[in-house]
Amino acid sequence: MRRILALAVVILAIFSATTYAQFEIGASYELREEEPRNGFGVRIQKGIFENFPLVNLGLRLHGSYFSEDNNVSEGGVSYSQDLTNYDVGVAAIGGVSVGLLEPYVGLGLGTENYERAISDIQNDTNNDAPQSGEENSLYWNMLVGAKVTIIPMVKPFVEYRYSSSELDEPELQDVNSQTGRIMFGISISF
């Protein structure tokens, strides 16, 4: 009985210890209010200044991809709409290790591409259907999130990222220059 208890304590200590990873790779499912609403993301993060106790600083490269196909009918006009949005950015991240939880904040820059492809237009005698188009913009973002260290190498996370491309005027009328998204994902630390 003592051996089982001692083994359980050792396993619990190993799997609940906070790790100070130098490199992380992660993937996420992302939700936002703007169309397209659902997407996926990837991220690569490298720790810097690992000598600080409890404080984790890093640089992150992140990318997201959103896509949605819709059949739209407005004012008697019907059409098929394919929306695609992808972005790539870098961010400086700072976090604090509090036991198994690591809350963090970040600030970064990136570029975003939004494409709208319209096809199969029906009953459009007045040319009321939206036009196909593409828009590229530069954005800044702020993020806040938390990781949980369940196993030292595997860290589920939740994150909210606010992006703003207010410096550029949108060319397409239904593109929002300020967006927010919530992400649920998992990171693997090396």
Q: What angle do CA 60, 22, 27 make, to 5 degrees?
A: 50
The dihedrals phi and psi of 185, each to the nearest 5 degrees, come to -160, -170
Q: Which residues contact 86 (CB under 8 A, 6 or more apart)?
A: 63, 64, 65, 66, 112, 113
Q: Tell which wins on pLDDT, 40 or 172.
A: 40
| 3 state DSSP class of 43 | strand
pLDDT at 176 over 70: no
Alpha-carbon distance values, 22 to 10, 39, 158 (Å): 24, 27, 20
| pLDDT over 90 percentage in the chain | 37
Local confidence band at 19 (pLDDT 50, 70, 90 cut-offs): very low
More confident residue, 84 or 131: 84
Do residues 83 and 133 make contact, with C-beta atoms less than 8 angstroms apart? no
Residues 69, 90, 135, 74, CA torsion sign: positive
Tell whether the model's pLDDT for residue 28 goes beyond 90: yes
Whether residue 16 is predicted with pLDDT greater than 70 in this model: the reply is no
Domains, the chain, with CATH or none: 2-189 (2.40.160.20)
